[in-house]
Structure 1
């Protein structure tokens, strides 16, 4: 690749925003790099700059997404507290998505770093399975491992009944902390 093949600076970042706005699924940094003829690391820097400029871009375990303003009916968000082992993570996530909720993120309170939040963004069993496979393939640690299993999830649902059903199922499994 020669430097004339690269899309440079502001033009590249404009193209990234346009591409992410039009995307219907996350796009990996590698794919964005291939599209603009730069390295994934350059894309990481570009996304950091775009976020600093106020662009609502979120990094997920499957790539970057542009957070469009909600035009769909208002969703309900609730933060719940859970506790379980790392081995029970897939079961917990499946309980939540089986009850119609999206698991937006996971949060812990770290004694040194304070609140730590990571995107999860799973809405169905297939996405849960991909999430778990990514954890296993990368040998990454789950945040709950830093807090003896205690963690919070922001969950999103279409209505209160879905949230109540999810909480009931988590309670029954012994995962909900009240």
Structure 2
């Protein structure tokens, strides 16, 4: 398989997948190294493909995703992270990303794409080897949520408020 054909196959596989696909999985399916896939993804992005790298793998940005996009401002320590994320996914929302304001770099965004307790558990397990972005800001951060309804978003806000995590003006 030639490089251009492989890159088209990568795009096809990402379009067909409802979940992020790891570089290792793509490498196995295409019989190349993980590093070749990482390079292909970089070239696809440079060519305009809207590929998002999440902690669980690559996916295509889906501008037509069903639901309401909302942002929520929160503050908690590392111990509160799992409770916060499970609160969001338990109410049917996908945690799209985390955003912090860094004094030197400005806004830093980390893609998450967490939509189930399983996703959250995997993320929490990985967080044991690296610090979350929120440590840079004393626990203050934003999440972009994709919620199935305004009611689901309100339930998330209420639960975060009760847990003492919600930042309100």
- TM-score normalised to the size of structure 1? 0.87
- Measured after TM superposition, the shift of residue 65 of structure 1 is 1.5
Q: Which has the larger radius of gyration?
A: 1
Q: Describe the SS at the equivalent of 2:53.
A: strand
Distance in 1 (CA, whole Å) between partners of 2:76 and 2:158 is: 16
List per-residue Cα deviations over 1:49-76 (Å, max 9, x = no partner): 1112121221111111123452x6x411
Q: Name the structure 2 match of 1:43.
A: 37
**Residue 119 of structure 2 corresponds to residue 127 of structure 1:** yes
What stretches of structure 2 of length at least 5 have no aligned partner?
none
Distance in 1 (CA, whole Å) between partners of 2:62 and 2:142 is: 24
Instruction: Output the aligned Cα RMSD.
Output: 1.5
Q: Describe the SS at the equivalent of 1:31.
A: helix
Q: Name the structure 1 match of 2:89.
A: 97
Distance in 2 (CA, whole Å) between partners of 1:32 and 1:98 is: 30
**Residue 66 of structure 2 corresponds to residue 77 of structure 1:** no
Q: Describe the SS at the equivalent of 1:64.
A: strand
Distance in 1 (CA, whole Å) between partners of 2:9 and 2:60 is: 13
What stretches of structure 1 of length at least 5 have no aligned partner?
1-6
**Residue 53 of structure 2 corresponds to residue 63 of structure 1:** no
Contact 1:21-1:68 at 8 Å conserved across structures? no
- Measured after TM superposition, the shift of residue 43 of structure 1 is 1.1
Residues matched between the structures, number: 168
